[in-house]
Amino acid sequence: MNRMSGKYIALPKGVTEKDLDAAIGEFRRVLGPEQVFTDAGHLAPYMKIMLAVPEAQHAPSAAICPRSVEQIQQVVKICNKHRVPIWPISTGRNLGYGSAAPATPGQIVMDLRLMNRILHVDPELCTALVEPGVTYQQLYDYIEQRNLPVWLSCPAPSAIAGPLGNTVDRGVGYTPYGEHFLFSCGMEVVLPNAEVLRTGMGAVSNSNTWQVFKWGYGPYLDGIFTQSNFGIVTKLGLWLMPRPPAYKPFVIRYEKESDIVGIVDTLRPLRIAAVIPNAVVIVNTLWDAAPVTKRADFYSGKGQIPDSAVREIMAAKKLGAWNVYAALYGTPEQVEVNWKIVTQAVAASRNGDILTAAEVNDSPVFKYRAELMAGKMTLQEFSLYNWRGGGGSMWFSPVSQAKGSETLQQMALAKSILEKHGFDYVAEFIVGWRDMHHIIDLLFDRSDPAQMTAAHRCYSELIDEFAKRGYGVYRTNTAFMDKVAGIYGPVMRDVNRKLKKALDPNGILAPGKSGIAI
């Protein structure tokens, strides 16, 4: 699989060592030798993956760190000249989806972390414009230091990830602005032919409406630069949420797994009408248990953790079978009215125990969720990786309608496939406006070859069995991109390939991303 050479830990498909040498030499001239890495020591962070495949399958040949758009343009020209592929990353924290490693061996990682300027934050319009290397923590600190009246929305590993990388991979967060791509506005993109495109109003010279009007004129192009390999995004505009005068996070705990039906049907109308405006999460026991306990404390046998052990955890850690986290935002009066509507809806459903911050006291799990729903910085979700230990994690994330019956069906299907392969069902549903992202963390021990094989088979079967029932995933890891592209059918593949050929005839940009190659 992996093509070794004397000098490089991997070679890209179809590229000779001589061609790579020539390209690396030119990168050194353009970027400076200190921004080009080919030795195993420096490449180690770009090789580390959590997937159920050997690292060699995703080993880069080199990593380069450009500092400007002009340098990226030069790099792209060199890549075309020598036909060498590059894999752009922004903050490179795509953990459980491939981390910083490329889709196929030998691609040169283009690490954009040095391009980390916050170009502007407009507190009146509540907009920002950032470069790829800007982390959420950096933007958060910028806002805090200036006491700007805006909130961020971030994914769970908020502090170390960044808005540009997360948005172009269509990640989600937990505030009312949680559907990140929806709340982005305007991109700057270096195309594979080295031209620079500004989307939307950014294409008009001297425009000051780039970050306020998304659609511009003619076809709306931003979407084709997300989850794709058609361009390198070098700037992203985003909308920020005005800081609300009042914020009320709460949890509703449910006793039984089958309660998921009623939960979704109770909450959906409130979510669609934006009484509850944020991306509500419905979290299962094991996910919520991870920060406060370890699997081995309750179960040390083989196979999926039994329901009886899950019930013990629920009792010991005061968790529900499902734990719903949501929040109200607005003026104190608005929050009071909406709180009445929510509590009445939960009471009418005759199920669920609704608790406020004061009532759960100092529960660390609640605190973490309350922070996420307020766009604050946290790294708590990483405790999931200690649940089983061993560094294996692959997110399986099918999309579901926000209907109770659908969720029960998806849960039962996922749980039984995971059980067959000996893995736990560790899951949450993130409720969008009408959909839910059903997020399952397939956790396994990478040091155990049997678990590696089982995890690979399990993930593959999850994709197949869900697809048979008409369910597709919203995102996948670098080891399964081609397979998932297959689920979306030949016409989609063909259109993507045509776009790829037109924009990147030499196939130099991230071949294999989302299953797209020439």
Please, what is the minimum distance in Å from the beta carbon of residue 91 to ligand ADP?
A: 4
Q: Is 91 in the site for ligand ADP (CB under 6 A)?
A: yes
- By CB under 6 A, the residues from 242 to 281 that bind ligand ADP are none
474 among known catalytic residues: yes
Question: Between vectors from CA 287 to CA 283 and to CA 288, what angle results, nearest 5°?
Answer: 75
Stretch 484-513: interaction string toward ligand ADP, x if CB under 6 A: -----------------------------x
Q: For residues 234 and 188, is the Cβ–Cβ distance under 8 A?
A: yes
Q: Of residues 139, 233, 270, 430, which one binds ligand ADP by CB under 6 A?
A: 233
Please, what is the minimum distance in Å from the beta carbon of residue 16 to ligand ADP?
A: 26
- Spatial CB neighbours of 219, under 8 Å, sequence gap ≥ 6: none
User: CB-wise, 329 or 395, nearer to ligand ADP?
Assistant: 395
Given phi > 0 = left and psi -120 to 50 = alpha, else beta, which region is 14?
left
User: CB-wise, 135 or 266, nearer to ligand ADP?
Assistant: 135
Catalytic residue from among 254, 325, 329, 474: 474
Please, what is the minimum distance in Å from the beta carbon of residue 231 to ligand ADP?
A: 7
97 among known catalytic residues: yes
User: CB-wise, 232 or 264, nearer to ligand ADP?
Assistant: 232
C-alpha–C-alpha distance, residues 264 and 276, integer Å: 13
Task: State the DSSP string of 398-448.
Answer: BEEES-HHHHHHHHHHHHHHHHHTT----EEEEE-SSEEEEEEEEEEETT-
Q: Is 66 in the site for ligand ADP (CB under 6 A)?
A: no
The residue among 426, 320, 323 whose CA lies nearest residue 370 is 323
Q: Using CB under 6 A, count the residues that bind ligand ADP.
A: 20
Cα dist. 18→38, 62, 83, 302 in Å? 14, 14, 12, 50
Token pair of 243 as six digits: 């800081």
C-alpha–C-alpha distance, residues 412 and 406, integer Å: 10
User: Which range of residues in 72-80, 85-93, 240-248, 487-495 is near ligand ADP by CB under 6 A?
Assistant: 85-93
Please, what is the minimum distance in Å from the beta carbon of residue 28 to ligand ADP?
A: 22
Q: Is 60 in the site for ligand ADP (CB under 6 A)?
A: no
- By CB under 6 A, the residues from 166 to 225 that bind ligand ADP are 166, 168-169
Tell me how far apart the 2 most distant CA atoms of the chain are, in Å.
Answer: 72
Cα dihedral: 133, 135, 140, 145 (round 10) = -50
Placement of tokens 């970050």 in the chain:
211
User: Which range of residues in 83-91, 178-186, 320-328, 343-351 is near ligand ADP by CB under 6 A?
Assistant: 83-91
Please, what is the minimum distance in Å from the beta carbon of residue 179 to ligand ADP?
A: 15
Q: Is 237 in the site for ligand ADP (CB under 6 A)?
A: no
Looking at residue 376, the DSSP 8-state letter turns out to be -
Q: How far apart are the first and last CA of the chain?
A: 20
In one-letter notation, the amino acid at residue 356 is: T
C-alpha–C-alpha distance, residues 90 and 131, integer Å: 9
User: Which range of residues in 41-49, 164-172, 321-329, 394-402 is near ligand ADP by CB under 6 A?
Assistant: 164-172
Q: Is 475 in the site for ligand ADP (CB under 6 A)?
A: no
- By CB under 6 A, the residues from 124 to 163 that bind ligand ADP are 132, 161-162
Catalytic residue from among 8, 97, 174, 325: 97
Q: For residues 271 and 260, is the Cβ–Cβ distance under 8 A?
A: no
Q: Residues with catalytic annotation?
A: 97, 474-475
| Binding interface with ligand ADP (CB under 6 A) | 88-94, 98, 112, 132, 161-162, 164-166, 168-169, 232-233, 513
